[in-house]
Every structure is written in C-alpha cells, then in structure tokens.
Chains A and B, each alone.
Chain A
Amino acid sequence: MSLKLKALTKSIWVYHMSTGSCNNCDIEILDLLTPRFDVERFGITLVGSIRHADAILVTGALNLKTIPRIKNIYDQAPKPCFVIAIGACACGQGIFAKGPNTPEPVDSILPVDAYIPGCPPKPEAMIAAIVKLIEKLRGKK
C-alpha cells in the first residue's frame, strides 16, 4: 500500500450534508465526535467547508429542492471524494419511497460508496461502515 493511500485512510475529513432529514441521523453523527466514540482517534474530523472534505455524509430523503443542491455540492468537492449514505431515508428513501416530492434515492444521483441503514443507525454501525470503506480503499490498490 502506498504512502499516499495510507495517509488518505488515516485522515478522512467528513462534510455533513442533510437533505431534509428529521435530524435523528444528524444527532447520531455528532455522537461520533463525543468522548464515548471519539473518531478523532482515527483522524476523522468534521469540516465546515466542502473544499476540505474527503467524504460527504448524506442524510435524509432527497427532495426536489435538495437534488440540485447536492449535485452542486458534489461538483464542488475536490476529488477523490467519497459519498456515504446514512439512514434508511438516504439508503432507500425509507417511508418516503412513494412521496410525491421525493422522486429519487441518493444513489441514483451520486456514486455512493457506503450505505449505513437504520432509523437512525447506531454510532457503532457508522464506525463499522467507515472501517469497511477503508478496507475497500485498500483492496482497490
């Protein structure tokens, strides 16, 4: 494994994008930064600007207002940039599957690298997903 890939897996900066979620997944994401889970141990930090991000955490069922915005956000991100869908709504629209203003799931718009189901998913599940993402990155090489 090359040094650069190792550095990438050791320092993943995440950007949090809520596309109209009920805030439950967002609170669970913030749990990851608390002393109990402390993902900064693995170099994962939350950043404010998409230009600094290595991974976009998408929560919520995409609606008509947020679809152009999330496309815009993804285009602004410096590549390589990963997309992680968090929660039942982002993975497969959840209870909004037949909603009139929620036409598409996240993975029909962005290339999703990891899915974390749950309503909301536990912080342990998110850590497991990040570990799987890192393993996938290493396997690619």
Chain B
Amino acid sequence: MEEVSSIMKDLFSFLIFPGFIFTAAIGLVASWIDRKVTARVQWRVGPPWYQPLADLVKLSIKEITIPKNASKAVFLSAPLFGLSAAVLAATFIWQANIQAGSSGFTGDTVVVLYLLTLPAIALMLGSSASGNPLASLGVSREIKLMLAYELPFIISITVPIIKSSGLLRVTDLIAFQAMNGVFVSNVSGILAIIVAIFCMQAKLGLVPFDMAEAETEIMGGIYIEYSGILLAVLKLTKTIMMVALPVFLTSIFWGGFSAWKYVILLVVIILMRNTNPRVRIDQAIRFFWYRMTSLAIIAVLLAMLGF
C-alpha cells in the first residue's frame, strides 16, 4: 500500500506539480513574454497573452504528415522521448528547490546534466529519420553546436562543485549557498555563470545560435518535416527547457529559485536574442571552444585557488 502511494506521489510530481503541467504553464507564459518583448523591441504591438497556447491547440488539430522516406518509428517517437526527458529534468530541479534538504540523491546534478542534453539528441534522431536533405543539414549543424557548447557548460558546472568541496546534490548546493553565500558573489562564480548563460542560449536554440533551425536559410532545418501534434510536442519541449535551464542555473549558482532571478535570466536571454544576428557554425564553435572554454577553465582555476 505504501509503495502504491509513493508511486502515485511520484506520478503526481512528474505529471502535474511541479512536473509537466506546472512547468508547461510557466513556459508558455515565458514564451509569450519572449514574443511580446521581441515585438516591443521591434516597435510592434505583439501577440496576445494566450498566443503560445493557441498555437499548441491549433497544431494539435492539424494532420500529421509522415515523409515517404522516413523511418516511421524513430520519426514518431523521438519528440515524446525528448519531452519526457525535459519534463524529468524540470521535475528534479523543481523538487530540489521546493523540498530543500529532503529530496534528490547523490549525483543528481550529473543526472540533470544528462537529461538536459537528451531533448537535443532526440530532436537530432527524429529529424535525421525524416529523410529530408535540409533536415540532415540542420542535424549536422546541431551536432556541431552541441559538441561546441557541452564542453564549456560542463566545465562551468564544476565550479560550484569545487567551491562546495564536492557536493553533487542540487539540494546540498542550495543549502551550502544558504550557509556560505551565493556562488555568484565570487569572481569564479561570476565567470562560470556568464559561460553557462551563453551555453544556455545555445541549448535553447535561440538567436544568435539558431543555425540548426535557421528559418530564413534552411526553412526550419531540424523542424522542417514535423507537423501537427508532433511539432506541438517539440515546441512544448522547447518551452519547458526555457524554464528548466534558467531555474537550474539559479539553483546551482545563485542560491535557489526565486521569481525575480528567473525573470532576470529570461530578460538576458531575450535581449541577447534580439540584439544579435545569427552566427555561422564555425564562428559558434570558435566562440565556445576558444573563448568560453578558456573562460570556464580560468573560473575553475580561480575556484581551486579559493576566489
């Protein structure tokens, strides 16, 4: 009986609060803020508040088209795979913030890092299964971009772990910051969160790192063959990542989630996206491997020296 109730509790936290529905609701509001601020920056009025929800409902009534050359099983299942990974990551991150000290397991920071990588991998699998040449071009760009941003992202995530002398649970990191002050008050923490914000932009696939999608150039790239509810699932995954990643960064660098910290990170993302043109893939790789990785290594060295 106790096992059943604990399974029900886990299902509830995965599907409703703080998992799928809660995160999706926040993500839809965040993506509306994104579109509205973008419109205001461009001196336009922008869409009404329910626009992201209307898009999703509309996509869910559309026909699902499957290309003739597609590998059907992979093409159809990849979006669901990515969505469930993103929701699981979001659930872990929220749990660590809500039930401080009692949730999580040793090493859940590493698990969250893996889970945050899975949506991109699922998207690559699905769109390379579609058999479209432009999709495969988008996939090759996404793979290169992922190789570029994962290295500095993981190095920058090691900074809080070094500073807390080896804590690997997100709740422990939050508790450590509550005792000893947030990591962004140190030089090494500031450098690490700058690197992590750039990597977050690339993980979300937003301008200037949207060359895998590149609507004006390769017509949607990795999304090109997806239609109907599969496209809605992909959009939903993106909006959930838009919540999970900033909350993860505030948890491990900035002493835990709060609404104003999330809004600050969101505004940084939106302004970066509106004030930059798309970079080429070689420029992005050079940026992440040379500049951001060196910055992250400097941050790690400073953290080891105690700054």
Contacts and interface: CB of A to CB of B under 8 A. Distances in A.
A and B interact physically? yes
A40 B63 contact: no
Nearest to A15: B219
A10 B48 CA distance: 10
Interface in B44-79: 44-48, 50-51, 53-55, 57-58, 60-65
Contact of B58 (A8, A41, A76): A8
Interface stretch (A43-51, A85-93, A104-112): A43-51
B226 A35 contact: no
B224 interface: yes
Contacts, number: 84
Contacts of A47: 215, 220
B65 to A, nearest CB: 5
Given A7-B58, A8-B58, A40 B47 contact: yes
A10 B54 contact: yes
Interface in B212-262: 215-216, 218-220, 223-228, 231
A48 B220 contact: yes
A3 B57 contact: yes
Contacts of A7: 53-55, 57-58, 61
Contacts of A80: 61-63
Nearest to B231: A52
23 contacts: A3-B57, A4-B57, A4-B58, A7-B54, A10-B54, A10-B58, A11-B51, A11-B58, A35-B44, A38-B39, A41-B44, A41-B47, A48-B216, A48-B218, A48-B220, A49-B219, A49-B225, A52-B223, A52-B231, A54-B58, A78-B228, A79-B62, A80-B63
B227 A51 contact: yes
Nearest to A33: B44
Interface in A30-89: 35, 38, 40-41, 43, 47-49, 51-52, 54, 76, 78-80
